[in-house]
Amino acid sequence: MKLIYLLVILLIIQNSFGYPEKKLGADFGLDSKILYSTGQVLVINSAPEINLIYINMDAINLTITDRPLPYPNPATNLDIVLAYTLSKSSNIKISIYNPFGRCMKTVNVMKYDLGARVFYNKLPIHLTDDFGDAFGNGIYLVFILDSDTNKVLGKAKIAVSR
Cα–Cα distances in angstroms (integers) from residue 54 to residues 64, 66, 133, 147, in the given order: 22, 25, 48, 27
- Torsion sign across C-alpha atoms 102, 96, 126, 137: positive
Confidence of residue 15 (pLDDT cuts 50, 70, 90): very low
Question: What is the per-residue pLDDT for 156?
Answer: 95
pLDDT in tens, 28-84: 444 444 444 445 555 555 555 555 666 666 667 888 888 999 999 899 988 999 999
Question: What is the per-residue pLDDT for 119?
Answer: 87
Which residues does residue 80 pair with via DSSP β-bridges, in sequence order?
125
* Domains of the chain by start residue, with CATH: 2-58 (no CATH), 69-160 (2.60.40.3580)
CA–CA separation, 82 vs 64, rounded Å?
13
| Sheet-wide strand order for 92-97 | 103-109, 92-97, 138-146, 152-160
pLDDT in tens, 87-141: 888 899 999 999 999 999 999 999 888 888 888 899 999 999 888 899 999 999 9
